[in-house]
Chain A
Amino acid sequence: MGQYTYEILLACGVLSPLVSFWLLVFAGPKLGKPAAGWVAVVLGMGVPLVLATIVLIGWLGETEGGRAALTAGAYRGTWAYIGTIPVTVGVKLDSLTVAMFFMVTLIAFLIFVFSIGYMKGHSDEVAGKSKYHRFFAYLSLFGFSMLGLVLSSSLLFLFIFWELVGLCSYLLIGYYFDKGFASAAAMKAFITNRVGDFGFLIGLMLVFMHLGTLDLDEAATVFAQQYAAGTGIFASHFTLFGWSLATIMGVGLFCGAMGKSAQFPLHVWLPDAMAGPTPVSALIHAATMVAAGVYLVARVYRLMTPEALAFVALIGCLTLTLMALIAIVQVDIKKCLAYSTLSQLGYMIFAMGCGAWIAALFHLITHAFFKAMLFLCSGQVIEGCHHEQDMRKMGGLMKKMPVTGITFLVGVLAIAGTGIPIPGAEIAGRKIGLGGFFSKDEILAVAYVRAFEWDDISKHEEHGEAHGAGHTAAPEPEGSRAMLVADRTQAEHHDEHQPAAAAHGAQSTHDSHGGADRAAIFKDMKKLPSWMFYLAIFTAYVTPFYMMRCWWMTFMGKPRDQHVYDHAHETPLMYVPLVVLAIGTFVSSYFLFRPLIEDASHSATSAAMVLATDGELGTEAIHAAHGWLRWYVGGAFLVGFIVAIAIYRNGLGLAEQLKKVFLPIHTILWNKYYFDEVYDVVWVKGCVLVAHIARFFDTYFIDLLVNLSAAVTERIAAFSGLVIDNHGIDGIVNGIAKTSIDIGGVARAPQTGRIRNYVLFATAVATVVVVCVLAFGMDSGSGAATVASSVAP
């Protein structure tokens, strides 16, 4: 198949659920109850599954070189510019994408089908109203977002789809939003994820600023170049908690994964998320979305520094241990599975941190199959038992639900890592075992080497690198190279036994940076603290215990609640997906996905450190580790099973007694280490308190200032109006007026209104004037004389 064929098929696979989503949004109510569901099954996931299968088949037929060419030539278009830096939209086309795409579509398709059966009764009703089409619309939207996430080639698009799957999760957890706890859980999930996204954003900002691109591949290249040259992000001397800027970037990006994959201490949302319908728990909160965190770490692996990976390992280790312990005391069947999911996610993250890139993703895929199956089984049980989730009220359901019971057991065996660790017990050259047997085993093997044999190996690498720099393909002693440092060059020179130094030498001829930088950064990796390894091994024993406990309490023993037992039944439409998943758990994971992921590791992790261990790849040291480890891990499931059965064989009596003995520990586990309570007080209440302080400040301080200034202005105005204006300026004006009036009053007195007076007055004045003129006026006097003289005859 050509480049475009792959891209178009994958793009159609992403867009098809979106079409289904819009169709259901607009036409959903008209389609009615079963039809809307089938639209989602066919258009929402059926089409993508078919396309994914075609892609997978085509991809398996490609050669190594062909795959590399396809990866390199994948589509990149410019979506927008941030400042002057383009944000590309494109298809990330490599083996990991193909594997994830197929895995997601397959599991999602089965769960969609299961959902139709699950929603058959009244499960679609919210407060008595059917929201059937809405449920499938959300599922379709989730399909779109998840597939988009898998396909994204740019960190920003990864982030966009990342948030969109978060939205779908929010909507689906809150599907029964009439229930207070469901809407609260939805909100909790979204906000906790946002906390992680805050870190993601910081990582994104650092990538954007220092690497100058948001494209995953380009960023990795630039990162490697900067590492080699000591420029860019490596030029900064800024440190925080002893972390360099580059480490902060990696940790920041990992914070996103912590949110989505519910890693300690952001794990609190996942158990609550079980408030959603069970198919949702299976799809989103077990198989796909929560694994997106691991997928993200896988994708940004090339941007991780050894310190960042150490942090990743630490978080993973804490999560896997603490959550497994909580699972022991859970009585709610879904919660028990939820904590088991948390623990398994912890394993994956821990593996990433150890450098077991391949093992982590491998575990992701095997886990997706068996955990989806387990959740669907629990859905079957819950639906069958009239929405009863308390395992203490179940028991003996095997008789009523044989198919569910058996498929559940398959899941339990798979998660426990059941297999036959005896050397020689092989079929077609492979060990016999279920998914978890291989993946967990490999994680632990790498962890072992990192914890105990790392110093020798890294010294060797350093040595090898020195040789590599000198282009001397000096053969290293066989057996010393325990780790495979995988990169693209190695994919081309696919000689597994070629010494490391030779590989590096070859690398440097192909790529001026890659090899040496990778080796240098690899060399910086520290030894893993041994307690991490012990915790991981310890948890490998706990896992079978709580899973078997869960299964036994539900399906074996005597029925503890007759009402629940009487009601229990199976729905045929719902167990078809179960059976398919069970088969998938058995066969597909190892034979199909392990090679694909291994292949992906060549291109996806170049310029970083990947440790792989496998029967074929490893050498003496790893074989040794693997060999005796296999006994411990292989034995683990037996020990766990036996203890669980021993305790729960005769009902809950013994368990109750043990609970009394270990009461303090039980209380702590029962309350989930009081995380919810502490978060509620510190973050939720704290935030609301601060908010109220802010509001108080706003209302009574800032507004007070505003009103005060208004009041002061008013006072000033009043002062100037009353005092200055009224008594000052107005005083002058009014004074003039008053004087005029007074004068007028005086002048008014002679105005008697009697004509006689006026005449008298006028006459008097005239007389006075004439007298004056005659007496004093010289001119007028002379004038008079002139008149007199002129009239003289």
Chain B
Amino acid sequence: MDLLTLIVFLPALGGLLCLFVPRAQVRVVAVLASLATLLVSLLLFPTFLGGAEAAESIFGTSYGKLQHVIRLPWITGEGFEIEYFLGIDGLGFPLIILTTLVSFLSCLASWNFDTWKINKGIRGYFFLFLLLETGMLGVFVSLDFFLFYIFWEVMLLPMYFLIGVWGGPRKEYAAIKFFLFTLAGSVLMLVALVAMYFYGGAAIEAAGGSVPSGYRVTDSGAPVAITHGTFDLIELATNDVIQKYFSAKATLFLGMRFAPIMFMFLFIGFAIKLPSVPFHTWLPDAHVEAPTPISMILAGVLLKMGGYGFLRLCYPIFPLGGEYWAFLLATVGVVSILYGALCAMAQTDFKKLVAYSSVSHMGYVLLGIAVMTPAGFQGAMFQMIAHGISSPMCFFLVGVIYDRAHHREINRFGGLWLTMPKYGTMATIGFFASLGLPGLCGFIGEVWVLLGTFDAGSKYTWAYPMAILAAAGVILTAGYILWLIRRVYLGNEREEYRGFPDASGREIFILVPMAILCIALGVLPMQTVFNFTNGTLDLLLAGVTDTINAMI
């Protein structure tokens, strides 16, 4: 059995099993299924053992050198072939580990399902939950655009129901908002999918009907011949003929130049997911209404799909679009950073504040990618992983207190560090990681992105003010997080919360791994993330830069 296939479908199998076991055992099965997925996904590590050099040589030799590749024909017809094509490289690998980890922890966070306000349908809940995990994992491993799209949609529906059924008072509104926003992005992606297939086919047609593959070789070492349009993401990115055709001035789509317009289509789809201003308003609503574990998943993994999409689709396939829209994208990133932080500052709902902080933090991802510098790409990737750890932690921290107080009004809290010392300590770590304190994970991503942005000043003059504005974001971030800590955790104890029990064993068990990772990522960024990602990112950036330079 192929490892990646196992990882992807193990949760779904567990989910099916959930439907048939006695009610009392459902959560056990679900937790075991997600734990098994986590453990299996850790088996991917041996591929990269051997330190920085080994990882470099694996991911660094060529963008196409993927690991754990499985490639089977799936839907084949006249002139097209949709493949079951899975594989990982430096982009997918850390995100897979992140997904399985966050899923496991949030599955554990669902352990007290019976005490929720809406505790009907435990089977359905865990089934959908695990189906969601399958969808997310599928997105990160599929290298066939069609398959990618299918997993993208597979992930959408469980989320809709998880928010819409088990959510808070305005769950229907939030769920439909989430669904429609994402769907709007999917539609544009679908257009791009079809267009890329046909335009790719046209490129090959124009080149004589058969071109050598950009990265695949037969056993004898000769490149595989490509005779028709393809959904293979790596092929689209590495095939010279297709790349030239895509970025040529004469290639038009609806009267506009192909690469920028396609880039924009994909960008909007992913920017909604990221989410960046102005496509972000689904996020606070979804977070506020979603149950705690779902918020964790949403913040920890779903948002990363946006960033992953940029790095996997937009930039490698349409580098010219990146160049064309760089200013716009960076502006959107900076606005997200500042605007998200400002909005967070004005919130009175604890969870909404954390949700807006996500908007702010993901702005760094967009900014780092938009400027197309090595440090920017690295920082963006790191920021995704780091945010994927710190933000679920923050959401869980909110959940813990919500379970006890049954409200989330920041101004009604106070002195919780005295009432619940262990919880307070964990909260300090979580929120300081989010604040970007050096030594914790949030710092690395921000600094790398800022330096990367500034470094782009040699290409784009506007990068200087962008970097400075983004750096001003660190003040705002410190402002709203410290103000939050002061209002919720500091101050004197309040009478109504005096009897609250400190964090339980289960809650500590969920928080500790995230706290450890927050510190580990902050202290050893190279060993924890960069060694796995940098090779791929460098190649990717080199490809992007080459294409751009060739076109100018």
| A touches B in complex, CB < 8 A | yes
Say whether A710 faces chain B, with CB atoms less than 8 Å apart: yes
Q: Which of B3-11, B394-402, B435-443 contacts A (4 or more CB under 8 A)?
A: B435-443
Q: B343 near A691 (CB under 8 angstroms)?
A: yes
Is B483 close to A, CB under 8 A? yes
CA distance A590 to B437 in the complex (A): 38
Once the chains bind, are B451 and A205 in contact (CB under 8 Å)? yes
B520 in contact (CB, < 8 A): no
Interface residues of A in 95-131 (CB under 8 A from B): 126-127, 129
CB distance from B389 to the nearest CB of A (A): 18
Contact yes or no, A688 B345, CB < 8 A: yes
Least CB distance from A158 to B in Å reads: 10
* B413 at the binding interface (Cβ < 8 Å): no
Confirm or deny: A546 has a beta carbon within 8 angstroms of a beta carbon on chain B: no
Beta-carbon contacts under 8 Å, A181-199 to B = 183-184, 186-187, 190-191, 194-195, 197-198
Query: In the complex, which residues of chain B have a beta carbon less than 8 angstroms from the beta carbon of A80?
Result: 444, 525-526, 530
Q: With A163-B437, A205-B454 as given contacts, are A691 and B342 in contact (CB-CB < 8 Å)? A: yes
Closest chain A CB from B356 CB (angstroms): 8
Interface size class of B (residues with CB under 8 A): 35 or more
A258 within 8 A of B: no
The answer to whether B493 touches A127, judged by C-beta atoms less than 8 angstroms apart, is: yes
- A703 close to chain B: CB less than 8 A: yes
Answer whether A178 and B418 are a contact pair too, CB < 8 Å, given A164-B439, A183-B486, A194-B474.
Answer: yes
Are A702 and B472 neighbours in the complex by a CB distance under 8 Å? no
Q: Is A706 close to B, CB under 8 A?
A: yes
Known: A178-B415, A687-B479, A702-B278. A694 touches B346 (CB 8 A): yes
Is B374's CB under 8 angstroms from A183's CB?
no
Q: Which of A178, A198, A710 contacts B472 (CB 8 A)?
A: A198
Instruction: Please determine whether A129 and B418 come into contact, CB atoms closer than 8 angstroms.
Output: yes
- Tell me which residues from 212 to 229 in chain B have a Cβ below 8 Å from any Cβ of chain A: none
Given A195-B475, A208-B455, the answer on whether A164 and B482 have CB atoms closer than 8 Å is no
Please name all residues of chain A whose beta carbon is closer than 8 Å to the beta carbon of B455 when the two chains form the complex. 83, 208-209
Judge whether A206 is part of the interface by a CB distance below 8 angstroms.
yes
Question: Once the chains bind, are A163 and B454 in contact (CB under 8 Å)?
Answer: no
Whole-angstrom CA separation of A156 from B438 in the bound complex: 10
Given contacts A164-B439, A208-B451, A692-B346, contact A178 B492 (CB under 8 A): yes
Tell me which residues across on chain A come within 8 A of B454, comparing CB atoms. Answer: 205-206, 208-209
- Residues on B with C-beta less than 8 A from A195 are 475
The listed residue with most A CB atoms (<10 A of its CB), out of B417, B439, B468, B475, is B475
Interface residues as binary, B519-552 with A (CB distance below 8 Å gives 1, 0 otherwise): 0000001100010001000000000000000000
| 0/1 string, A677-709, CB within 8 A of B gives 1 | 000000000011011111100100011011000
Q: Tell me, rounded to whole Å, the shortest Cβ–Cβ distance linking A170 to chain B.
A: 8
Q: Which residues from A are CB-within-8-Å of B444?
A: 80
Give which listed residue, A82, A186, A688, A702, contacts B346 with CB less than 8 A.
Answer: A688
Q: Which of B415, B432, B475, B530 contacts A198 (CB 8 A)?
A: B475
> Which residue of chain B has the shortest Cβ distance to A194 in the bound complex?
B478
Contact B530 A160 (CB under 8 A): no
Asked if B503 lies at the interface with its beta carbon under 8 angstroms from chain A, I say no
Give complex CA distance A694, B339 in Å: 7
The A interface, classified by DSSP as helix, strand, loop or mixed, is: helix
Chain B residues, Cβ within 8 Å of A688 = 345-346
Name the residue on A nearest B476 (C-beta).
Answer: A687
Q: For residue B490, which residues in chain A have a CB less than 8 angstroms away from its CB?
A: 174, 177-178, 183, 186
Interface status of B491 (Cβ within 8 A of chain A): yes
Given contacts A127-B415, A204-B451, contact A187 B486 (CB under 8 A): yes
Inter-chain contact A83/B373, CB cutoff 8 Å? yes
- B500 CB to nearest A CB, Å: 15
Docked CA distance A82–B380 (Å)? 12
Give the residue name and chain of the B residue nearest to A29 (CB). B421
Please tell me if A180 contacts chain B, counting CB pairs below 8 Å.
Answer: yes
Q: Scoring B residues 489 to 508 as 1 if CB is less than 8 Å from chain A, else 0, what string do you get?
A: 11111000000000000000
Alpha-carbon distance between A419 and B502 when the two chains are bound, in angstroms: 59
- Least CB distance from B325 to A in Å reads 21
- Give the distance in Å from the alpha carbon of A198 to the alpha carbon of B446 in the complex: 12
Question: How many A residues touch the partner, as a band?
Answer: 35 or more
**A687 and B454 alpha carbons, distance in the complex (Å):** 25
Return the contact of A177 from the options B177, B343, B417, B437 (Cβ within 8 A): B417
Q: Known: A81-B530, A201-B474. Is A706-B177 also a contact (CB below 8 A)?
A: yes
B447 at the interface (CB under 8 A from A): yes
The docked-state distance in angstroms from the alpha carbon of A219 to that of B2 is 50
CB contact list, B290-344 vs A, under 8 A: 339, 342-344
B343 touches A698 (CB 8 A): yes
Cα-based distance from A170 to B525 in the complex (angstroms): 25
Task: For the complex, give the distance between the alpha carbons of A39 and B483 in Å.
Answer: 33
Query: CA separation between A197 and B476, bound complex, in Å?
Result: 12
Q: Are A163 and B438 in contact (CB under 8 A)?
A: yes
Neighbouring B residues of A694 by C-beta, 8 Å:
339, 342-343, 345-346
Is there an interface contact between B432 and A167, defined as CB atoms closer than 8 Å? yes
Closest residue of A by beta carbon distance from B453: A205
Check B492–A127 contact: CB distance below 8 A: yes
What is the CA–CA distance of A693 and B486 in the complex, to the nearest angstrom?
Answer: 22
Q: Which interface residue of A161, A202, A204, A695 has the most chain B CB atoms within 10 A? A: A695
A789 at the interface (CB under 8 A from B): no
> How many whole Å from B74's CB to the nearest CB in chain A?
35
A84 lies within 8 A of chain B by Cβ = yes
Residues from chain B with a CB closer than 8 A to the CB of A705 are 278
Q: Is B486's CB under 8 angstroms from A202's CB?
A: no
Determine how close the nearest CB of chain A comes to the CB of B41; give it in whole angstroms. 25
Contact assessment for A191 and B177 in the assembled complex, using a CB-CB cutoff below 8 Å: no
Q: Which residues of A contact B438 (CB under 8 A)?
A: 159-164
Whether A190 touches B482, Cβ cut-off 8 Å, given contacts A178-B492, A180-B491, A710-B180, is yes
Q: CB within 8 A of B374: which of A84, A162, A184?
A: A84
A126 & B418 in contact (Cβ 8 Å cutoff): yes
Compute how far the CA of A694 lies from the CA of B342 in the bound complex, rounded to whole angstroms.
6
How far apart sit A167 and B373, CA to CA, in the bound complex (Å)?
A: 31
B478 and A691 within 8 A (CB): no
Q: Are A205 and B471 in contact (CB under 8 A)?
A: yes
Determine if B378 is an interface residue (Cβ-Cβ < 8 Å). yes
Bound-state CA distance A462–B84 (Å) is: 75
Residue pair A178, B491 in contact (C-beta under 8 Å): yes
24 A–B contacts from the bound complex (CB under 8 Å)? A80-B530, A82-B375, A82-B378, A82-B452, A83-B373, A83-B374, A85-B375, A160-B439, A163-B438, A164-B437, A167-B432, A167-B437, A174-B490, A183-B490, A183-B491, A187-B485, A194-B474, A194-B475, A195-B475, A198-B474, A687-B476, A691-B346, A694-B345, A706-B177
3 closest Cβ pairs, A-B complex: A83-B374, A83-B375, A160-B438
Q: A80-B444, A208-B454 are in contact. List 18 more A-B contacts (CB 8 A).
A: A80-B530, A81-B378, A81-B534, A82-B447, A126-B418, A127-B415, A127-B418, A163-B437, A164-B439, A167-B437, A178-B491, A178-B493, A186-B490, A190-B482, A191-B482, A201-B471, A208-B451, A706-B281
